[in-house]
Amino acid sequence: MMQSEGLKIILSGPSGSGKGTIVKELIKEDFILSISATTRQPRVGEQDEVHYFFKSVEEFEEMIEKGELLEYANFCNNYYGTPKSFIDKSVEEGKDVILEIEVQGAMQVKSVYPDAIFVFIMPPTFEELKSRLIGRGTETDDVIEKRLARAVDELKMYKEYDYIVINDRLEDAVEHIRNIVRAEKLKSYRYKTYIEEMLTK
């Protein structure tokens, strides 16, 4: 009856916005999470094609060369990246895929997937953001200051996103994202085939 292609939802938000917890809730039911590729060794309990696509350096560099990665980076001598093929395949099967991506990475994704939905997760107040960052209790003042400065820079990018979800109560934030996805599925461009078929009968 309708076009059944899934949606690509890009979730970004400053450290302390709680986006990780939101993602965990969303993938319990209706969404699937994009799987990253990495060259680091699997840890105990990590499965290939479930937690990561584990690759050799040669395989990973071949993926880079062939343009198979949406974005990638190198941390501590290990590659991490987002393979396009898994996302494209999932979306074709009608699944809604979540990509949890940093603001900078998200802007790169926009040029590859202009039809993706960009959602920015916000802490309810700046004080709350600060206390969430401090609350972890494991960081020095210096690190916290740097994270706050970075959060401010990221917040300034909110206009580049389609939607803002304020993470005050987790259940509300999760429901807001489900709501956004339901509404996006009613966008008129998705009904092209449906209406054209209706009109040719």
Which residues does the annotation place in the binding site?
A: 13-20
- Reduce the DSSP state of residue 136 to 3 states and report it: coil
Binding site membership for ATP: which residues? 13-20
Give the distance, in angstroms, between the CA of residue 201 and the centroid of all CA atoms in the same chain.
40
**Shortest Å distance, C-beta 14 to a second copy:** 11
**Shortest Å distance, C-beta 119 to a second copy:** 8
Cβ proximity of 79 and 72 under 8 Å: yes
**Shortest Å distance, C-beta 179 to a second copy:** 5
Residues with Cβ within 8 Å of residue 123, at least 6 apart in sequence: 14, 16, 17, 18, 129, 132, 166, 167
- Reduce the DSSP state of residue 76 to 3 states and report it: coil
DSSP state string for 88-146: HHHHHTT-EEEEE--HHHHHHHHHH-TTSEEEEEE-SSHHHHHHHHHHT--S-HHHHHH
**How far is CA 19 from each of CA 25, 36, 57, 173, 198, rounded to the nearest angstrom?**
10, 17, 30, 9, 41
Structure tokens at 101: 């991506």
Q: Which residues of this chain interact with a second copy, rule CB under 8 A?
A: 2, 120, 122, 125-126, 152, 155-156, 158-159, 161-166, 176, 179-180, 182-184, 186-191, 195, 198-199, 201
**Shortest Å distance, C-beta 118 to a second copy:** 8
**Shortest Å distance, C-beta 2 to a second copy:** 8
**Bridge partners of 122?**
166
- Reduce the DSSP state of residue 30 to 3 states and report it: coil
